[in-house]
Amino acid sequence: MTSEQKQKRILFIINPVSGIGRQKKVERLVGGLLDPERFHTGVAYTDAPGNATEISRKAALDGYDIVVAVGGDGTVNETASGLVGTDTALAIVPAGSGNGLARHLNIPMNLKRAIRMIGTGKIEKIDTATINDQLFVNVAGVGFDASVAKKFAVAGKRGFSTYFKITAGSYKNYKPKQYTLIIDGKTYKRRALLVSFANSSQFGNNTSINPSASVSDGYIDVCIVGKVPEWKTIFLAPLLFLKRFDRTRYVEIIRGKEVTLIRKKGKSIHLDGDPMIMGKELSIKINPLSLNVVVP
């Protein structure tokens, strides 16, 4: 067997507009951080929504061992969409605003450490999920967080500070909505600020509503969140970062494998932080151990 045949082939997919610009450093770092005798590396840049899925799908067909999503949860989503059900593994170099899945998987936030980890890490299988047949790997949802995601997508600046300003500015006037949920055949009617369908424990920026969630348990965590009175938010918001918000009376978590959500009218949802419009009825399903991922 030749040296070339022994090399693992890695393709880095870089979203040049995600996050706050850290991804621009990645291409020049790759060559110095991954042993060229062990790894043959290439780089591709996305230039339109959905482009990462096309690139990763072709890379899997071409026999790449690893495809690296360089960006935020949206870039991870698109890249994973082309790799689900294949032997090619997803790796993540976090360069987005929230980096939820990367944080859940304990992938380093430091660019150099994240790239080095690709060469030293192991491959594990994780669950993915779909909402009306659209893939998500971290979290999808309806309600307030979907409304915020829609506004964040068109904001002039990225990053946590912009997200926080939009959230704080929208919270007071947002009214909870009525939802009907059918979870593994059992019906629940709830009025909620938001309903999130979580594969991982991370909602981005190291916040968590469901800290005990697992990406390999074959379940979706349905997180039903009520509206906290505005005067209480200053006291309860820190619990999101302390992984204790799920202990409050404002959170209900129900685990399931198949979920149907029915709402009064079709409007915004988010898939791994990226907004889109869907109808009144949503079907959410888990796809157990359907994606190979490089982890520390």
The answer to whether residue 128 is domain-embedded is no
Q: What is the average pLDDT score of the chain? A: 88
The answer to whether residue 295 is domain-embedded is no
The yes-or-no verdict on residue 270 having pLDDT over 50 is yes
Indicate if 109 and 143 belong to the same structural domain: no
| Higher local confidence (pLDDT), 235 or 65 | 65
The yes-or-no verdict on residue 2 having pLDDT over 50 is no
Q: Determine the pLDDT at residue 1.
A: 39
The rounded percent of the chain whose pLDDT value lies above 70 is 93
Indicate if 142 and 284 belong to the same structural domain: yes
pTM over 0.75: yes
Please, what is the angle between helix 144-153 and helix 160-171, to 10°?
130
| Residue length of the chain | 296
Most confident of 18-27, 79-88, 159-168: 79-88
> Mean pLDDT, to the nearest integer, of 206-216?
87
Q: Determine the pLDDT at residue 3.
A: 44
Q: What is the CATH number of the domain that holds 81?
A: 3.40.50.10330
Q: What is the CATH number of the domain that holds 264?
A: 2.60.200.40
Tell me which of 120, 144, 177 is where a domain ends: 120
The range of the structural domain enclosing residue 63 comes to 3-120
Q: Determine the pLDDT at residue 4.
A: 47
Tell me which of 120, 144, 179 is where a domain ends: 120
| Higher local confidence (pLDDT), 96 or 1 | 96
Indicate if 25 and 56 belong to the same structural domain: yes
Residue 194 region by backbone torsions, left for phi larger than 0, else alpha for psi between -120 and 50, else beta: beta
The answer to whether residue 127 is domain-embedded is no
The yes-or-no verdict on residue 18 having pLDDT over 80 is no
Indicate if 157 and 244 belong to the same structural domain: yes
Indicate if 181 and 281 belong to the same structural domain: yes
Q: What 8-state DSSP symbol labels residue 185?
A: T
The pLDDT confidence band at residue 32, using thresholds 50, 70 and 90, is: confident
Indicate if 115 and 240 belong to the same structural domain: no
Indicate if 92 and 229 belong to the same structural domain: no
- Domain count of the fold of the chain: 2
Q: Determine the pLDDT at residue 239.
A: 84
